[in-house]
Amino acid sequence: MRLHRNLVLAVIDSLNYIFNDGLYADKVVEKTLKRDSRWGSRDRKFLAETVYDCVRWKRLYNEIAGTKEHYSQENLWKIFTVWATLRGIKLPDWKQFEGAPIRRIKGKFDECQKTRVLRESIPDWLDELGVKSLGNAWDNEIQQLNQQADVILRVNTLKTNLSQLQQQLHKDEIETELIKGYPDALRVTERKNLFRTEAFQQGFFEVQDASSQKVGPFLQVKPGMRVVDACAGAGGKSLHLAALMENKGLIISLDIYERKLKELKRRAKRNGAHNIETRTIDSTKVIKKLYGQADRVLIDAPCSGLGVLRRNPDAKWKLQPTFIEEITKVQAEILETYAKMIKPDGKLVYATCSILPQENEQQVEKFLKNHPEFSLEEELKISAYKSGFDGFYMARLIKKEHHS
């Protein structure tokens, strides 16, 4: 592999924005990719993957490069040198690479493998939390969460089916494969720009991780029901529910952010999903109006996002220990408030993309203790390590008709 100067400079610039200005990696990559229209798919892939790698392995590369978490231009080049050396890439004779300590880098890498916080490139507090919460399972989980995530598509069954979608993508030179046990999913075998395809513009698919695709069916919706997606965001799950309900019935998608719901409307239009109504939660009235109204409620709760680190590696560095305490309080409040929307005999799913018991089963246990009218029907814990996809949790509760 030959290094191209303009691409390497773009990587260095991106890292500067992320490490020194605190910008989010995905936004920086998105912006940088627009910088040069001549970059082909291989160039784009190099840029995105290199930036993500340097973010993911920030602590490890820092340790190897001896840059002491100080990200001057010179140090960013040192970090890039570590990245390239560990990948066996021959360094060109640019002045930035003069006297690069190739052998020392490899030796230091081997040494770092003995210490988990360095080997898995995570903050100390996160490692302590992982061990405390998950015990021996933490080692495998964090290792898996450092792998690069596959790109998974969900076919929009309102418009097409898996085999038709596969054929259409094949025409656009995008190869995909089926995933056993995931009826609506396709795995993209090589990274390409999917959003330019005819299939995407016509609303034939959405990008959605396989674990996240389990949530919709887990809610057990039927056409004609009244369903509330209580933390809808940009609506990936609302869209899935619309397809499962065959566009019949009503999905009320709620969120506190109006801009996210605007995006959902745009996506729904492209998907041909006509049974979604969006409502911004701008006062408690919005929620109270729905008390006792819903056959199904989905609470895709805000969480630490530890189950999706593969896709979002800078969360490792942005998360603060206090955030976990705060978010568990928020989750408990949301569950408490939104559960009131359920009709008797209705069902509620509480889901997170976290692997921590305090955000998952412990939340549900606390809720059930205070709410004898609900009982746990089924619970699904998806381990990133065992599934190879995102870490996820979901619990389905049923509200009893009469309880004494």
* Mean pLDDT, the chain cut into blocks of 10 residues (404 residues total): 94 96 93 89 91 97 93 96 96 93 95 97 97 96 94 97 95 93 94 87 96 97 98 95 98 96 97 97 95 97 95 93 95 97 97 97 97 97 96 97 64
Q: Catalytic amino acids?
A: 353
Complete domains list, the chain, with CATH = 5-121 (1.10.940), 151-207 (3.30.70.1170), 212-399 (3.40.50.150)
Q: What's residue 402's pLDDT?
A: 67
Which residue, among 222, 238, 242, has the nearest Cα to 230 in the 3D structure?
238
Neighbours of 191 (CB within 10 A): 16
Q: What's residue 1's pLDDT?
A: 84
Inter-axis angle of helices 73-86 and 5-21, nearest 10: 120
Strand partners, 396: 349, 378
Q: Are 84 and 91 in contact (CB under 8 A)?
A: yes
Parallel, antiparallel or unpaired: strands 294-300 and 276-280: unpaired
Q: What's residue 36's pLDDT?
A: 87
CA distance 199 to 196: 9
Helix (H) or strand (E) holding 369, with range, is: helix 361-370
SS3 percent helix, strand, coil of the chain, rounded to 5, is: 50, 15, 35
Which residues contact residue 378 at a Cβ distance below 8 angstroms, ignoring those fewer than 6 apart? 218, 395, 396
Q: Which DSSP symbol is given to 354?
A: -
Q: What's residue 196's pLDDT?
A: 86
Q: What's residue 193's pLDDT?
A: 80
Token digits for 154? 């969900």
